[in-house]
Amino acid sequence: MVLIMSKPKLKITNLYKIFGDKGTSFVSSVRDGMTKQELLDKHNHVLGLNNINLSIPEQKVQVIMGLSGSGKSTLIRHINRLIEPTSGELFVDGENVLAMSQEQLREFRRKVTSMVFQKFALLPHKTVSQNVAYGLTIQGVKESIAKDQSHRWIDRVGLGGFEDRFPVQLSGGMQQRVGLARALATDAPILLMDEAFSALDPLIRTDMQNILLELQDELHKTIIFITHDLDEALRIGDNIAILRDGKVIQEGDPQNIIMNPADSYITDFIKDINRSRVIELRSVMDTKNKGTGDGLSHKMSLEEALPILNSSKTKSFSVVNEKNENLGSVNLDSAIKALARADNEEVAERYK
């Protein structure tokens, strides 16, 4: 499989964040292997991020995943410098974000990044329309233009008719639509989403994911999406980075993470997902043995493919990409094998 990487929009190198008064003085000891617990016990400093290296491609959805306390919200706040790093580098479009003056940084936040928050963080004293226009107002855009823009985005997220309501009059899902519209209204190419849908109930969350994916199809923003929910990560992520104790422990194509988990922590993490729905044919196909005949799409999930495979005589199909080029073949056996959980040996042991 050939993965054409678009050029990185955002590059993070050797990023460390140590919370506490004398954070800088502990960077070298952390680099030399001091653990989070040790740092906390001995020096009363909290290790937020530990040597983060990430290359985030342009116009893709990069998911950063981890449990609470893993540093994911800290990481996303470094991108627009709501939190200053202790050490490391951060480049956006080749520009050093950490070298920006306060004035440049404000300009960067106005034009290049925008953010959606877990708890919405809307301005309670402003109407929906004023909230959505907030970023534009800050930039000094003329009121009438800002209003037009905001109404356009309110319509786009399906809130037409609610322009003059106050946030408190809306449900959680609607409030987050306002948050999303506010972030989109500034036309910033980078969208930072900090657990944006985590506070919503499951149905509304799926709804919001659909809205986001629909918009992304058209807008092609570089989205950095924080979540603790693996299903959500798999659903919207083009790329996933998994964080633990402030460190990236695995990063890459979601399919690859599921098929080849880096360690037991990730194995544990992914054991409860619905593999048949998540795994795509491209992950299970045999690339050496190109099949013949009609092909199945390489993005087809096992859930869809299994009945087709089972009902065919040969129990085998070729796999093709969008351009109908033959990539390899898949058969029923390999498809079923892929359904086995990653900690499958343990389970097998139990039934011996």
Minimum Å distance from CB 82 to other proteins?
6
- C-alpha–C-alpha distance, residues 175 and 184, integer Å: 14
* Residue 106 contacts other proteins per CB under 8 A: yes
- C-alpha–C-alpha distance, residues 95 and 81, integer Å: 14
- Alpha carbon distances (Å) from 54 to 161, 191, 214, 263: 41, 16, 26, 19
Q: Among residues 81, 183, 193, 98, which one has the least CA distance to residue 138?
A: 183
User: Could you tell me if 198 and 233 are in contact, meaning their C-beta atoms sit under 8 angstroms apart?
Assistant: no
How many of the other CB atoms lie within 10 Å of CB of 89? Answer: 15
Which of the ranges 45-53, 103-111, 223-231, 334-342 carries the binding residues for other proteins, by CB under 8 A? 103-111
Which of the ranges 163-171, 217-225, 282-290, 304-312 carries the binding residues for other proteins, by CB under 8 A? 163-171
- C-alpha–C-alpha distance, residues 243 and 290, integer Å: 37
Minimum Å distance from CB 172 to other proteins?
14
Q: Which is nearer to other proteins, 192 or 242 (CB)?
A: 192
Query: Residue 297: in which H helix or E strand, if any?
Result: strand 295-297
- C-alpha–C-alpha distance, residues 316 and 305, integer Å: 10
Member of 92, 115, 258, 270 binding other proteins (CB under 8 A): 115
* Residue 110 contacts other proteins per CB under 8 A: yes
Q: Which is nearer to other proteins, 1 or 123 (CB)?
A: 123
Which of the ranges 29-37, 49-57, 162-170, 259-267 carries the binding residues for other proteins, by CB under 8 A? 162-170
Minimum Å distance from CB 106 to other proteins?
4
* Residue 31 contacts other proteins per CB under 8 A: no
Which of the ranges 37-45, 127-135, 240-248, 317-325 carries the binding residues for other proteins, by CB under 8 A? 127-135
Member of 137, 198, 276, 334 binding other proteins (CB under 8 A): 137
3-state secondary structure of 322: coil
- The count of residues interacting with other proteins (CB under 8 A) is 31
* Residue 113 contacts other proteins per CB under 8 A: yes
Member of 125, 142, 299, 315 binding other proteins (CB under 8 A): 125
Q: Which is nearer to other proteins, 40 or 121 (CB)?
A: 121
* Residue 222 contacts other proteins per CB under 8 A: no
* Residue 177 contacts other proteins per CB under 8 A: no
* Residue 169 contacts other proteins per CB under 8 A: yes
Contacts of 51 (CB under 8 A, 6+ apart): 14, 15, 16, 30, 31, 247
Q: Which is nearer to other proteins, 19 or 166 (CB)?
A: 166
E-state strands within 122-255: 190-194, 222-227, 239-244, 247-252
What is the β-pairing status of strands 87-92 and 95-96? antiparallel
Tell me the β-bridge partners of 280. Answer: 301
* Residue 134 contacts other proteins per CB under 8 A: yes
Member of 40, 82, 98, 141 binding other proteins (CB under 8 A): 82
- String marking each residue 181-200 x if it binds other proteins according to CB under 8 A: -x---x-----x--------
Tokens 């519209």 belong to 181
* Residue 119 contacts other proteins per CB under 8 A: yes
- Alpha carbon distances (Å) from 324 to 127, 148, 172, 306, 328: 50, 43, 43, 20, 12
* Residue 142 contacts other proteins per CB under 8 A: no
Alpha helical stretches, state H, 157-239: 172-185, 202-219, 230-236
Q: Tokens in use for 117?
A: 């928050």
Which residues would be at the binding site for other proteins (CB under 8 A)?
80, 82, 105-111, 113-115, 117, 119, 121-125, 127, 134-135, 137-139, 166, 168-169, 182, 186, 192
